[in-house]
Chains A and B, each alone.
Chain A
């Protein structure tokens, strides 16, 4: 698959602040790319630059074969953007909003109408078309926002935190919609999110930290690298020493927490021999798989405390 977005040494400095500091990555056609980072890491600045809203300080970007900064007009026709905040007008009906937004791309009224019908069908908006946008629920509003970004059938859909502030059920439905769009319309989806379980569905993930791209990979490879599985052991009274002995023998790192021992294991299956040996020393156990949360926290170094404890455990 070819690269639809190529970013090379992209930089954006605001006076002294290096909001985006020399990042390079590429996104393949038709894939879902998750762009992660803590608040203020430079995600939105990057998206703003890719959407032609901000001029980069340096570097070059190619989107759908067009050079950013030189062929912005063409790029704008290839992308659709869903913002963190809602941009449609409360006082207009959904239909009026969609027509207004769509006509910014499409001159032909008939074609626009057909596209609108298609988008409404995919996003299940037909029922709310005649209602004022301001009166809709949060989830309906988000679907309309996505609909407005899809009217010109863009090749790339940028989603900047599309599900922030939605309840879990609505989040799930918005998510399913995005997944369908990617598959049915063969659309490239570029998204940022704070929900790691959502990011895990992406084909590739880039993690940005203080303006720099610190990790890139598939969710699987990142999990393998940064999220170790954990075996949590509740030991029987006075058997703590024995358990520690066994863990040391097996070369396992571990730490103590609230009368429990947390051992780090490469894979969940590795827990079986350990449990076999410790069977008579413990009250119970739990095996926890590493999650995208762990990846994110480990990579962005926010849980330094945990890492500190982890290192300590290794020394024991």
Chain B
């Protein structure tokens, strides 16, 4: 246990001391915020107000705008939390790739520590830091939204959100562990980081809403954990503000909007439940874990 704690601490410290690594792990979030601030946010707000105008008849335009703004803010926050869960865990896992490429791994293997403990310490440090770098932006965003007149989230929603955040971070940590066990060099890892950092915004339907993506792309995204993770967060973040914004409007309109914005994910004919999505994420994590275990067993067999 002591070995596990000390190794996890080491992995965390190495990441925290590298300011550049922290900055770049948050870059996708920063880009998203900039895009939202510059034009995507305005576009999303207009979409909502137009929709309300078309169906709502005579409404209070100013109130609609205000509601739409907070809706988009919460929607963006949900996206950011998943983006960070992916990019931060990936950045922390670079410790493992670095240890391997700098031939430090052997120096741990020649000590009495079990290999599984070493692997677990990489995943744990990634979970801890991933969680930390999700919670901090989360708190700041809540302060920002409420300071701007937005409705605060209920305590139970916040708890559920933290749970979903932890789930996302855990699943992506395991997936990153799998990827890291396949990659041998730091340059390959940073290349992979560039690809994932770029794609994560699209895969979660953050840069472009789901209805703007071609159907086939949408179909692929529905098989990946990122979209479901984002959808979970959005459901929780946007629940109250959606009800407020779409108050008195037909249910179909709301459902249509939710699907278009990737708040709900429609598979087959109906929107999948949150329980399904949680199960889906867990299965993805287990599959990744299974493959990672198979990879390490094959590697050990090859050594003989």
Chain A interface (Cβ < 8 Å from any Cβ of B) = 48, 51-55, 73, 76-77, 79, 81, 83, 85, 87, 89, 91-92, 96, 99-101, 103-105, 107
Dominant secondary structure at the B interface? helix
Residues of chain B at interface, number, CB under 8 A: 23
| Docked-complex contact A105 and B110, CB < 8 angstroms | no
The complex places the Cα of A33 from the Cα of B211 at a distance, in Å, of 72
Residue of A53, A85, A101, A104 with most chain B CB atoms under a 10 A cut-off: A104
**B156 CB, min distance to chain A CBs, angstroms:** 40
| Docked-complex contact A87 and B112, CB < 8 angstroms | no
Contact of A91 among B7, B9, B14 (CB under 8 A): B14
**B113 CB, min distance to chain A CBs, angstroms:** 5
Chain B interface (Cβ < 8 Å from any Cβ of A) = 2-3, 6-7, 9-10, 13-14, 17-18, 102-104, 106-113, 303-304
| Docked-complex contact B112 and A100, CB < 8 angstroms | no
Contacts A76-B110, A91-B17 hold; do A83 and B9 have CB atoms under 8 A apart? no
Residue of B17, B103, B304 with most chain A CB atoms under a 10 A cut-off: B17
A-B residue pairs in contact (CB < 8 Å), sample of 5: A76-B110, A79-B110, A91-B14, A92-B14, A103-B3
Dominant secondary structure at the A interface? loop
Residue of A nearest to B303 (CB): A55
| Docked-complex contact A89 and B14, CB < 8 angstroms | yes
Which residues of A lie under 8 Å from residue B303 when comparing CB positions? 54-55
Which residues of B lie under 8 Å from residue A85 when comparing CB positions? 102-103
The complex places the Cα of A53 from the Cα of B7 at a distance, in Å, of 19
| Docked-complex contact B112 and A76, CB < 8 angstroms | yes
Residue of A77, A99, A103 with most chain B CB atoms under a 10 A cut-off: A103
Contacts A83-B103, A89-B14 hold; do A99 and B6 have CB atoms under 8 A apart? yes
| Docked-complex contact B6 and A100, CB < 8 angstroms | yes
Contact of A76 among B3, B14, B17, B111 (CB under 8 A): B111
Contacts A48-B106, A104-B3 hold; do A89 and B112 have CB atoms under 8 A apart? no
Which residues of B lie under 8 Å from residue A100 when comparing CB positions? 6-7, 9-10
| Docked-complex contact B10 and A89, CB < 8 angstroms | yes
**B124 CB, min distance to chain A CBs, angstroms:** 15
Residue of A nearest to B106 (CB): A53
Contacts A52-B110, A76-B111, A76-B112 hold; do A87 and B104 have CB atoms under 8 A apart? yes
| Docked-complex contact A81 and B110, CB < 8 angstroms | yes
The complex places the Cα of A51 from the Cα of B113 at a distance, in Å, of 14
The complex places the Cα of A81 from the Cα of B112 at a distance, in Å, of 13
**A113 CB, min distance to chain B CBs, angstroms:** 14
Which residues of B lie under 8 Å from residue A104 when comparing CB positions? 3, 6-7, 108, 111-113
Contacts A55-B303, A85-B103 hold; do A92 and B17 have CB atoms under 8 A apart? yes
Residue of B nearest to A57 (CB): B304
**A190 CB, min distance to chain B CBs, angstroms:** 13
The complex places the Cα of A107 from the Cα of B113 at a distance, in Å, of 12
The complex places the Cα of A103 from the Cα of B7 at a distance, in Å, of 9
**B7 CB, min distance to chain A CBs, angstroms:** 7
**B284 CB, min distance to chain A CBs, angstroms:** 32
Which residues of A lie under 8 Å from residue B7 when comparing CB positions? 100, 104
Contacts A91-B17, A92-B14 hold; do A53 and B6 have CB atoms under 8 A apart? no
Contact of B107 among A87, A92, A103 (CB under 8 A): A87
Which residues of A lie under 8 Å from residue B110 when comparing CB positions? 51-53, 76, 79, 81
Which residues of B lie under 8 Å from residue A54 when comparing CB positions? 303
Which residues of B lie under 8 Å from residue A77 when comparing CB positions? 112
